[in-house]
C-alpha cells in the first residue's frame, strides 16, 4: 500500500520533470527551501524562543516513546500552577504537527502561552517512537499493533509518566483523529484512567465510521479481510515512513512557484480526510512535508478499514479462528462507550471525510459525559484544518481555551 502512494508521488515527479525544460530553472531549484523543513521538533521549538524538553517513556509491552515538552510559554513564563495537557497527534503524524505552523498558529505554542504545561505525544511506530527493548523495526513482529495497543499501552504509560513528573493528579487531553480513537480505547478498556482526566478535547473524532472514509480507506474496506493476509505475506508492515525523498519532492512540487502545486495538494491529502483550500497556507506545504508523513503501522489502516466495513467500533478482527484464541469468540468485542466517563468535548468540521458529522453525532449519543458538541463555524473546515488552518485560533483553539478554563 505504501507503494501505491509512492507511485502517485513518482508519477507526479516524472510528469513535472518531463515539462521542466519549458519553465525557468529556478522553479526546480531545491536550494531555497525553508530552513524549518530540516529542523526537528525540539529544534523548531527552541528556534522560536520556547523552552523544550525531550522525555522517553517505556510501555508495558516494551515500546519506547518520545515526548516533547514545552513547560512554559513566552507570554506566560510562570513556572508554577501550570496544569499539564497531553496533546496527541493522529494517523501518520507526530508531535511536530502542533508546532510546525509557528507561534501564532501552532496549538502547542498557544497552549504554552495560555499558561499550560504542554506535552506533545508520539505514538509507537512514528518517526520519534521507533524503538523497543527487544524488537527492531526491521522485524515484522515490531509492527503488529494498531490504535488498540496505543490506547491500552501507550496512553496509560504516558499519562502516568506526566502525572508523576508534574506531581498532578489529573491532566487535560487533546487528541486529533487517531489521537481521539486511542483515548476512547483507553477510557473504555482501562476505565480507571477516566479519573486522571480533567477534560478531553476530541478534534475531528474518529470512532464510529458509518459515514466516514477517504477513498483510500474505503478501497481497503472493499478489499475485505484478505487484504490483511496479503500485507502480512508481502511484509508490508510500515506505512509511509518519512524519507528525504518525500521532503525533496514536497519542496520541488508543492511550493508556491510550482506548476504542480494543486495536484500535489490533492495527492498529499488523498488519505487524510480533506481540507479547506482557503484555510491552507500553501506556502507551508513544503515545510509540512519535511516532517509529515511520520509513518505508522499498516495495521492501523486495516483496523480503520474494518470499522468502515462493519460500521462498528470494536477490536481488531483477526478472522474467526484467531478471534477464538484471542477473544474467546468468533467476532471481536465492541468497545463499551458507557465506561468513558471523563468530560469530553466533541469538536468537528462539516467537510471532514474521517471524523464525519454523522458519526460524531453517534458519539454524542453514546458518550455519557459530553460537555461540548462544537461544530466549527466554517462549513468547509476539513480533517487537517484542525492542525494547520490559517484561522485555527479564532475558529477552534480559542473555544478549547475557554472550556479548559472551566475545568
C-alpha cell at 378: 466554517
Tell how many helices (H) and how many strands (E) occur in the chain.
17, 11
Write out the residue range of the structural domain in which residue 395 sits.
Answer: 2-404
Q: Which of 95, 177, 188, 372 is catalytic?
A: 177
Q: What is the pLDDT of residue 216?
A: 64
Longest dimension (CA), the chain: 65
C-alpha cell at 65: 516513546
SS3 176: strand
Q: Are strands 63-70 and 117-120 parallel, antiparallel or unpaired?
A: antiparallel
Res. 5: pLDDT tops 90:
no
More confident position, 38 or 182? 182
Q: Are strands 296-297 and 238-239 parallel, antiparallel or unpaired?
A: antiparallel
pLDDT tens, residue by residue, 239-254: 655 555 555 555 565 6
Res. 13: pLDDT tops 50:
no
First to last CA, the chain: 43
Res. 59: pLDDT tops 60:
yes
Domain count, the chain: 1
C-alpha span between 147 and 155 (Å, rounded): 10
| Cα-based angle 17, 281, 10 (whole degrees, multiple of 5) | 25
Count CA atoms closer than 13 A to 220's CA, side-chain side: 24
More confident position, 352 or 246? 352
Is-catalytic flag, 95?
Answer: no
Q: Are 396 and 402 in contact (CB under 8 A)?
A: no
Q: Which of 68, 132, 176, 383 is catalytic?
A: 383
pLDDT tens, residue by residue, 300-342: 999 999 999 999 999 999 999 999 999 999 999 999 999 999 9
CATH at residue 390: 3.40.50.1820
Which of 68-72, 157-161, 282-286, 302-306 is predicted with the least confidence, judged by mean pLDDT? 282-286
Is-catalytic flag, 242?
Answer: no
Q: Are 147 and 182 in contact (CB under 8 A)?
A: yes
Confidence at 266, pLDDT banded by 50, 70, 90:
low
Element at 392 (helix H, strand E):
helix 392-392
What's phi and psi for 374, nearest 5 deg? -110, 120
Res. 15: pLDDT tops 60:
no
Task: Look at residues 129, 185, 192 and name the one whose alpha carbon lies nearest to residue 160.
Answer: 192
Q: What percent of the chain has pLDDT over 90?
A: 66
Amino acid at each position: 500500500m505504501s507503494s501505491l502512494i509512492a507511485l502517485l508521488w513518482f508519477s507526479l515527479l516524472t510528469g513535472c520533470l518531463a515539462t521542466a525544460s519549458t519553465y525557468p530553472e529556478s522553479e526546480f531549484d531545491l536550494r531555497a527551501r525553508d530552513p524549518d523543513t530540516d529542523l526537528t521538533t525540539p529544534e523548531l521549538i527552541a528556534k522560536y524562543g520556547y523552552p523544550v524538553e525531550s522525555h522517553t517513556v517505556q510501555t508495558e509491552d516494551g515500546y519506547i516513546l518520545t515526548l516533547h515538552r514545552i513547560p512554559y510559554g513566552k507570554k506566560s513564563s510562570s513556572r508554577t500552577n501550570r496544569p499539564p495537557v497531553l496533546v496527541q497527534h493522529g494517523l501518520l503524524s507526530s508531535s511536530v504537527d502542533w508546532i510546525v505552523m509557528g507561534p501564532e498558529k501552532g496549538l502547542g505554542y498557544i497552549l504554552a502561552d495560555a499558561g499550560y504545561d504542554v506535552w506533545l505525544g508520539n505514538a509507537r511506530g512514528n518517526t520519534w517512537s521507533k524503538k523497543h527493548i527487544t524488537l527492531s523495526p526491521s522485524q515484522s513482529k515490531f509492527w503488529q499493533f494498531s490504535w488498540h495497543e496505543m490506547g491500552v499501552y501507550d496512553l496509560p504509560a504516558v499519562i502516568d509518566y506526566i502525572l508523576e513528573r508534574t506531581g498532578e493528579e489529573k491532566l487535560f487531553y487533546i487528541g486529533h483523529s487517531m489521537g481521539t480513537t486511542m483515548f476512547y480505547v483507553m477510557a473504555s478498556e482501562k476505565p480507571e484512567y477516566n479519573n486522571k482526566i480533567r477534560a478531553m478535547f476530541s478534534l475531528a473524532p474518529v470512532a464510529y465510521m458509518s459515514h466516514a472514509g477517504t477513498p483510500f480507506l474505503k478501497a481497503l474496506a472493499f478489499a475485505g479481510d484478505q487484504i490483511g493476509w496479503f500485507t502480512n505475506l508481502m511484509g508490508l508492515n510500515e506505512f509511509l515512513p518519512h524519507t528525504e525523498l518525500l521532503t525533496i519532492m514536497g519542496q520541488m512540487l508543492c511550493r508556491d512557484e510550482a506548476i504542480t502545486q494543486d495536484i500535489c495538494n490533492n495527492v498529499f491529502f488523498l488519505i487524510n480526510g480533506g481540507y479547506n483550500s482557503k484555510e491552507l497556507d500553501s506556502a507551508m506545504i513544503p515545510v509540512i512535508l519535511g516532517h509529515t508523513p511520520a509513518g505508522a503501522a499498516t495495521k492501523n489502516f486495516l483496523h480503520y478499514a474494518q470499522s468502515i466495513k462493519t460500521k462498528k467500533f470494536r477490536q481488531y478482527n483477526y478472522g474467526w479462528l484467531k478471534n477464538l484464541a484471542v477473544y474467546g469468540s468468533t467476532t471481536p468485542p465492541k468497545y463499551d462507550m458507557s465506561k468513558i466517563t471523563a468530560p469530553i468535548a466533541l469538536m468537528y468540521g462539516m467537510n471532514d471525510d474521517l471524523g464525519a458529522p454523522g458519526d460524531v453525532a453517534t458519539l454524542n449519543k453514546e458518550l455519557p459525559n459530553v460537555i461540548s458538541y462544537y461544530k466549527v463555524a466554517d462549513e468547509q473546515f476539513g480533517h487537517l484544518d484542525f492542525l494547520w488552518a490559517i484561522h485555527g485560533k479564532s475558529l477552534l483553539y480559542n473555544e478549547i481555551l475557554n472550556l479548559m478554563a472551566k475545568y
